[in-house]
Each structure stands twice: as C-alpha cells, then as structure tokens.
C-alpha cells in the first residue's frame, strides 16, 4: 500500500536496533491505514473574511481531521494541503455541470488543472505517496496531495433548482470519469455526486418502503449503476435539523442520537431511535430493491447549526454532533448497515456570506466561528481528547464597535432604512426570535446591525456614519448574555466562495429586518 523506501543502514546498526525498526514500520503501517478512515469535515468558503488556507489546514491537522470535502477546486486552497496527508474530496460547482456535460475536452482540461497537476502519475495505487526513512524508530515523511474523490455538483436535484441540472449531472459525471481514466487516475480518484436525502422517499416513513423518488427514478438508477460499475460511492447529505425545521410536529428527541424520549420507529424487527438511522436505511432499502445493496455510502454532510432559529443553538448542536461522533468512535453504524459510517461533518467554519434563502441558520453550521474559535466542547475521538483546537495566529481588528448613538431617537425616520441597509450588506442572522441575540431591545438590535456592517467593512470610519448621527464608535464591548458583538478578523483576500450553488436574496432579508424592527418601533 503506497510506496515505502527504506534508507540503507549499516549492518551493525540494523542488528543493534531491530525492535526500533519494527516499531517504526508498524507506525508507518498504522498511519497508512488510518489515513483513509476517521471523521471528515466540509470546508466552505462563503465568507467575507476568510482565514488563510494554510491556517485552516493547520487547524484541520491540529484537530485530527483526516478528510476534508471542498466545494470547488481553488488552487490556493489545494496547494495548502500539500504535505498535510489529509484526504480531499474536491468539488465541481453546479454552474459548471453544463459545460462539463457538453464538452469532453472541458472535462479533460478540468482534471488536468485541478487533479493531475497536484498528484503523482508514478503508478502507485493510492492518491498519495510516502517516502520514509527509519532510524532508531524515528521516521520522516513526505506527502503528496491526497485527492480521493471528485464531487460532481452538489445536491443538483433539489426542487429549488426546478430541474435545471437533471440533464447535465450524469453526462458531467461520465466525462469527468473518462478524463480521470485518460490521465491514468481513475483507480485512485473516484467520482461521486453529493445528493440531498430528498432523492429517495418512503410513503409510510418506514425505511423498508424506501425507494428513489418517482420523478427521477430512472435517472437515479442510471447514476447508481454508473457509480457501482466504477467502484464509486453513493454520497448523500442527511440533516435531521431540517426535519425539525420544516415540521413543527416533528418529535424533538427523535432528531438526536441519545434519544431519551419515547419516540422510536419499528420496521420489520429493527428499531430506530433516531431519524438519521431511519433516513440512512431508507436509502439502503432503495439501493437494495434495485439491485445495488452492496454499494458503499458516504455521508457527505451532517451537522447542526448554532444560530438563526429557535432550534439552532449551541446546546442542541453539541448534543447532536457529540452523539453522532460517539457512534462513529464506537464503530456503530445503522440497523441495516452496522459497520461504521464514512462521514463528513458540516461544517468546519461559519460562513457569513452564504445564502439565507433556506433560513437564517445557513450561516451558522460551523463547529468554529469564522475566526476559527471553537463554539463548544466536542470530542472527535482523535489524539486531541481535550476538545476542539482553535486556529493559530489569527489577527483581529481593533477593539472598537459601532452602536446606535445614545443621543439618537428610535423615532428617527432614518432608523428602519439604515438598519435594512446594514443588514442587507452584512450579517444580522443572529437577530430574531429564539436566536442568540433574541433578547436584545430595539436599541440593541439596531446596534448589532450597525456593528455587523462596521466590522464587515474593516472598521472603516465611513462604515459607522449612518444618517442623522444615528451611530457612534465605542471601545466598550456591547455584548450581553449569549449575544456577542464580534470583532472582525483582519482581512485576507476576499472571496465569494462556492457552497452548493445557492443564491443570496437581499430582498428577503430586508423584509425580515423591517418586520422585526416594526415590533419595537
């Protein structure tokens, strides 16, 4: 497995330290085996102030993440993974599917630029190469970039896309695979399509009645056959939080793994005490019924947001993610597939520029805030048993905040329009019922909006000059309780990022702000 080169040692030294050499080789073997297992995490980059890729890669390694799922193939990001030993699923955004589906050459060019240029063509059977030397039980290592999967599109069959990608997803998948084959990489780098769990359904909610959605069943079977024929996994994103968000009658306890409620589901002698297992096994039944019961499954996204909704909070997120990780650490699968799941947590960092079309919670899925600080204690079962490790060397702006001026009046006619302006261009998703800042009064809400705009604009003096002297800069932290008025990190190269091909709706957020403020004014 891989390429291991020993360094020539003197006969005398070899005789003196056979145990050291044996332990060294055992350590190497353990590293090689562990490098394709363990928990993964999604890293989206839709943020106004991204951390440098090198900082994020260090943070991934510090926390023991062995796999990462990306939503594009940004060269600076990929280059930062060199020598990291982290397995990569590199993404192709939905807006590229049409071109890749209709041009084999475009697929060849994409693979050459984003895959072949980063990994060796030396003929090893895995996507990285080790060059190791053992001396007295110590070793040095040299890694290549470890690209394991290419994710072609992201949830392309969501109803929100109105069928836009139904005709291009499979051809793009086929063309990327053909391009990998031409490059001699198809046995090392597999193609897959991260799909939302809505591509399958059960009319009775029992997993055993599961099958692919009737309107896309033929297409799904073609995709499944292609994945099976080429040794690639079925990648699915499962979100118990969304079940709770979209259905007010959904039993809360059933969303979590340590379900202490009476909610459970019995299906043919198998008992389900949480919705993830039931959802996952609905897919297993859909595959099994159509002759693909042995197809491997990767959980592309699973997680819980921490803000932006009454059920999105730190306590629930910690409970859900730790419950899931406890199962992963224990090697526990689902009733239909008891083996450990292969999964990527969603997500690594908050993204303050993501679309809020699905809900205000969309910007708060991170295990870490956008500055790389952990949100809560979480054991990943890695060497770092003390919890999540923060990003190193993060630089912040000055300890200054923009607030509503103490001399300003709530009756000022410029208040509503100023808040709407600020929130449409910054992030006010922590405001609202049941959120971390839900207990603020009117002045607090206005101050939060002003400060968000001020920080996202790097504390420019002009960013705290709202009409009629409504705003003022202060050196006193206005944070209170669970509501944090954050200081922005120093700006790196600003990027729009790619995450799921979703869109940002300013009008919907302006409406939210105006309606929210009207309750106070």
In a domain, 280, yes or no: yes
**Is residue 418 situated within a structural domain?**
yes
| pLDDT tens digit sequence for 310-353 | 999 999 999 999 999 999 999 999 999 999 999 999 999 999 99
In a domain, 505, yes or no: no
Assigned domain for 393 exists: no
* Residue 351 designated active-site: no
Flag whether 390 is in a domain.
no
Residue 501: is its pLDDT beyond 90? no
My answer on whether 276 and 410 are in the same domain is no
Whole-prediction pTM: 0.86
Q: What is d(CA 78, CA 76) in angstroms, rounded to the nearest whole number?
A: 6
Options 301, 351, 362, 499, the catalytic residue = 301
Residue 22 lies in a domain: no
Concatenating the DSSP letter of every residue in 328-377 gives HHHT---SS--SPPEEEES-SB--TTS--SS-GGGG---SB-TTS-BSS-
The CATH number assigned to the domain holding 239 equals 3.20.20.80
Measured CA to CA, the distance from residue 317 to residue 313 in angstroms comes to 6
Domain total in the chain: 2
Which residues lie below 8 Å from residue 78, measured CB to CB, with a gap of 6+?
A: 70, 88, 90, 114, 118, 145
Domain that holds residue 84: 36-121+143-368
Query: Is 115 in the same domain as 218?
Result: yes
State residue 143's pLDDT score. Answer: 44
DSSP states of 397-432 as a string? --S-EEEE-TT--TT-TTHHHHHHHHHHTS--TT-S
Same domain, residue pair 355 and 428:
no
DSSP code at position 274:
S
The average pLDDT across 376-381 equals 94
Q: Is the pLDDT of residue 260 over 90?
A: no
Average pLDDT, the chain: 86
Please give the pLDDT value at position 38.
83
Task: Give 8 or 214, the one with higher predicted confidence.
Answer: 214
Could you read off the pLDDT of 285-318 as tens digits, one per residue?
999 999 999 999 999 999 999 999 999 999 999 9
Residue whose tokens read 């957020």:
509
Q: What is the pLDDT of residue 15?
A: 34
At residue 385 the predicted structure's pLDDT band, cuts being 50, 70 and 90, is low
The secondary structure of 3-19 as a DSSP string is ---PPP--HHHHHH-HH
| Token pair recorded at residue 94 | 């939905």
What's the pLDDT tens digit per position in 50-94? 999 999 999 999 999 999 999 999 999 999 999 899 999 999 999
Q: Is 461 a catalytic residue?
A: no
Model confidence at 476: pLDDT above 90? yes
Q: Is the pLDDT of residue 517 over 50?
A: no
pLDDT grade for 384, boundaries at 50, 70 and 90: low
Co-location of 463 and 349 in the same domain: no
Cα 376 to chain centroid, rounded: 17
Q: Could you tell me how far CA 80 lies from the centroid of its own chain?
A: 18
Catalytic residue among 144, 155, 351, 499: 155
Distance separating alpha carbons of residues 359 and 502, to the nearest angstrom: 12
- SS (HEC) of 102-120: HCHHHHHHHHHHHCHHHCC
**Percentage of residues in the chain having pLDDT higher than 70:** 82
220 assigned to some structural domain: yes
pLDDT at 145 over 90: no
- Report pLDDT for 2: 34
Give residue for tokens 């971390």: 436
Helix (H) or strand (E) holding 318: helix 314-330
Virtual CA dihedral for 496, 498, 500, 502, nearest 10 degrees?
A: 20
For residue 119, pLDDT over 50 is answered with yes
């Amino acid at each position: 497995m891989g390429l291991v080169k020993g360094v020539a040692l003197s006969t005398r030294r070899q005789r003196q330290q056979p145990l050291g050499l044996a332990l060294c080789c055992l350590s190497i073997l353990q590293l090689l085996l562990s490098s394709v297992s363990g928990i993964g995490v999604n890293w989206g980059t839709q943020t106004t102030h991204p951390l440098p890729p090198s900082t994020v890669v260090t943070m991934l390694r510090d926390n023991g993440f062995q796999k990462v799922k990306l939503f594009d193939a940004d060269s600076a990001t990929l280059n930062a993974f060199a020598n990291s030993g982290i397995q990569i699923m590199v993404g192709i955004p939905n807006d590229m599917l049409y071109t890749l589906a209709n041009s084999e050459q475009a697929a060849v060019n994409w693979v050459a630029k984003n895959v072949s240029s980063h990994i060796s063509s030396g003929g090893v059977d895995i996507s990285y190469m080790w060059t190791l030397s053992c001396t007295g039980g110590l070793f040095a290592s040299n890694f290549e970039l470890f690209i394991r999967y290419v994710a072609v599109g992201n949830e392309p069959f969501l109803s929100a896309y109105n069928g836009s990608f139904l005709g291009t997803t499979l051809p793009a998948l086929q063309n990327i695979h053909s391009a990998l084959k031409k490059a001699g990489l198809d046995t090392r780098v597999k193609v897959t399509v991260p799909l939302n769990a809505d591509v399958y359904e059960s009319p009775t909610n029992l997993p055993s009645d599961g099958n692919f959605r009737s309107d896309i069943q033929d297409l799904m079977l073609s995709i499944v056959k292609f994945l099976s024929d080429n040794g690639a996994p079925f990648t699915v994103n499962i979100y118990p939080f969304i079940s709770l968000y979209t259905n007010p009658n959904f039993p809360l306890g059933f969303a979590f793994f340590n379900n202490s409620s009476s909610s459970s589901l019995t299906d043919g002698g198998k008992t389900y005490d949480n919705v993830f297992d039931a959802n996952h096994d609905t897919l297993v039944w859909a595959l099994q019924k159509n002759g693909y019961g042995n197809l491997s499954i990767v959980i592309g996204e699973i997680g819980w947001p921490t803000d932006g909704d009454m059920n999105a909070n730190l306590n629930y997120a910690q409970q859900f993610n730790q419950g899931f990780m406890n199962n992963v650490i224990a090697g526990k699968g689902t009733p239909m597939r008891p083996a450990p799941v292969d999964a990527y947590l969603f997500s690594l960092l908050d993204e303050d520029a993501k679309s809020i079309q699905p809900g205000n919670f969309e910007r708060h899925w991170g295990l870490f805030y956008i500055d790389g600080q952990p949100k809560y204690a979480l054991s990943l079962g890695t060497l770092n048993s003390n919890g999540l490790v923060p990003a190193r060397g993060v630089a912040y702006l000055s300890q200054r905040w923009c607030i509503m001026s103490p001399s300003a009046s709530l009756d000022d006619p410029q208040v509503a329009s100023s808040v709407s302006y600020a929130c449409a261009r910054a992030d006010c998703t922590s405001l609202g019922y049941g959120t971390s800042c839900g207990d603020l009064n009117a002045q607090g809400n206005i101050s939060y909006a002003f400060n968000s705009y001020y920080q996202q604009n790097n504390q420019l003096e002009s960013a705290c000059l709202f009409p009629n002297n409504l705003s003022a800069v202060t050196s006193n932290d206005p944070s209170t309780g669970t509501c944090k008025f954050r200081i922005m990190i120093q700006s790196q190269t600003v990027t729009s990022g790619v995450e799921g091909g979703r869109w940002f709706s300013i009008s919907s957020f302006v409406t939210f702000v105006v309606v929210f403020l009207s309750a106070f004014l």
